[in-house]
Amino acid sequence: MLTEVPVTPATRVIDVVEYCKEAGEGECHLAEVWNGHERVLPQEILLLDLLQQWGGRRPEVSFYLRHCPSWSQGSPQLLEQSWAQERSREC
């Protein structure tokens, strides 16, 4: 099932997760998928900023609500750095 979520400049990843998950549902996270690579998005990222960073490649990116705990143990900064490096290698 696809859910369209209204995104404003203040919309964070956690806002999207809370909007999409069912009442009483356990831990969920938002995953970003691009070019066969998936990463867990840190909860405090502003989604509109992230979408704008993708620029012309935005149509290649998908976002999924994963109905399981986040498997990522890294800090949000490390996740951001590793993903940015991966994107720059693919360009």
Domain that holds residue 25: 13-90
Domain-located, residue 3? no
Percentage of residues in the chain with pLDDT exceeding 90?
56
DSSP readout, the chain?
Answer: --------TT-BHHHHHHHHSPTT----EEEEEETTEEEEPPTT-BHHHHHHHHGGGGGGEEEEEESS-----S-HHHHHHHHHHHHHHH-
Give me the number of domains the chain comprises: 1
pLDDT in tens, 55-79: 999 999 999 999 876 654 444 444 4
Domain-located, residue 55? yes
Domain-located, residue 70? yes
Domain-located, residue 18? yes
Q: Domain holding 39: CATH number?
A: 3.10.20.90
Domain-located, residue 82? yes
> Which pTM was predicted?
0.70
Domain-located, residue 5? no
Question: For residue 64, what pLDDT is reported?
Answer: 92
Domain-located, residue 4? no
Using 50, 70 and 90 to split pLDDT, how confident is the model at 23? Answer: confident
Give yes or no for residue 88 having a pLDDT over 60: no
